[in-house]
Amino acid sequence: MAEQANPFESLQEQIDDASEYVDADADVLERLKRPERVLETNLSVEMDDGSVEVFKAFRSQFNGDRGPYKGGIRYHPGVNRDEVKALSGWMVYKCAVVGIPYGGGKGGIVIDPDDYSENELERITRSFAKELRPFIGVDRDVPAPDVNTGQREMNWIKDTYETLENTTAPGVITGKAIESGGSAGRVEATGRSTVITAREAFDYLGEEIDGASVAVQGYGNAGWIAAKLVDELGANVVAVSDSSGAIYRGDGFDPRDVKDHKNETGSVSGYHGADEELSNEELLTLDVDLLVPAALENAIDGDLATDVDADVIVEAANGPLTPEADDVLAESDTYVFPDILANAGGVTVSYFEWVQNRQRFYWSEERVNEELEGIITTAFDDLTDAYEENDLPNFRTAAYVVAIERVLDSYEESGNWP
């Protein structure tokens, strides 16, 4: 995976590209390109052996014009200030493009969680929650899971916050386990919106998803659920990968069986049903009908994009294509449906969770999936309408045009203060 592109610069370039098609002054657009504030903190945490280790952590609050800051918390050795800033910005535009009332935030700890025990991870998480406490809140900033964090970490953060605030506030964080105030359907939501987007995209392009060949990069939460749900639509998942490598089967895998293998062995590699093992790069350049990058940002750079052979890319990961890759693909036969729409299911069901937490009234999974379907298909139509009406170069620009206009409308209605 190419690591060179700075995701914050990629975000700014994406906004610049879309700004050409938005009727607003340059100075107003400038404030949409950088975060309002970034918390940088050093967590000193006692390890199991009694030593103390220091971890760098961040929380970026990018823009709050449309509602509380909203966005995940990532645990990864590659977390850095610019990455967190970029991810928080993508959240602003993601929430706007699907029309949910949030701004954008993101956080992370520079850590490889595999190197720590569960007790150490709990102390690290609670330490971060203590630092976050003055910045977050049900109506202020609402974190959620991201790479290497899940229900367990969200439950710890909620509990730390509630204990320090001496209150109950399940809506302070989303992605919780059901018994801690989580929503039905949240775990599957990102993969589900990815597949709804793919289904709508194929329909829009006059293609059949039934029988389509699919490659999925990354077999974590987003990737595996996308593989499972696209398989349920009749597509053939012919290749999947994780950080251990990629596997290929011409007749298509049973995604559940691959998941069982990954659960047992820790990776997709070595799966008995594969015809062959591929490199991660080979997976990304397969001749498939649909490619779903569901790992990390910058998976496809300008060089690799020249070898991409997929007809349609639907981005489950955040920022998997660099702007150079976008430029290359815009000139090719590959259609790209952007992350800020495709993976917005996660934040949309987080929004449903927050609504349910506020009302103390919980919905069935059926209702959650139905509401999600409505939000993603409406957003898809808004995006393709903008694409056609403004004769835009690609669907990413269309998504940003829709989103930027919504953020600007709310900013202009509120006025600039002080």
What positions carry a catalytic annotation?
Answer: 106
Residue choice 148, 155, 269, 357 for contact with ligand NAD (CB under 6 A): 148
Nearer to ligand NAD by C-beta: 18 or 295? 295
Q: Which secondary-structure segment (H or E) carries 292?
A: strand 290-293
Range list of H helices, 114-167: 118-132, 151-165
190 binds ligand NAD (CB under 6 A): yes
Q: Please report how close the Cβ of residue 90 comes to ligand NAD at its closest, in angstroms.
A: 9
Nearer to ligand NAD by C-beta: 226 or 398? 226
Nearer to ligand NAD by C-beta: 243 or 410? 243
Residue choice 346, 396, 398, 406 for contact with ligand NAD (CB under 6 A): 346
Q: How far is CA 198 from CA 25, 328, 402, in A?
A: 35, 21, 19
219 binds ligand NAD (CB under 6 A): yes
Do 184 and 364 form a contact (C-beta atoms < 8 A)? yes
- Choose one: 31-39, 54-62, 128-136, 221-229; the region binding ligand NAD (CB under 6 A): 221-229
Report the residue number whose CB is nearest to ligand NAD: 220
Q: Please report how close the Cβ of residue 190 comes to ligand NAD at its closest, in angstroms.
A: 4
Omega before residue 418 within 30° of 0, cis: yes
| Radius of gyration (C-alpha) of the chain in whole angstroms | 20
Q: From 140, 133, 187, 142, select the one nearest 163 (Cα to Cα).
A: 133
242 binds ligand NAD (CB under 6 A): yes
Secondary structure (3-state) at 64: coil
- Choose one: 6-14, 211-219, 248-256, 373-381; the region binding ligand NAD (CB under 6 A): 211-219
Residue choice 160, 318, 348, 369 for contact with ligand NAD (CB under 6 A): 318
Residue choice 226, 308, 316, 376 for contact with ligand NAD (CB under 6 A): 316
88 binds ligand NAD (CB under 6 A): no
Catalog residues that contact ligand NAD under the rule CB under 6 A.
1, 145-148, 190, 217-223, 241-243, 280, 294-296, 316-318, 343, 346
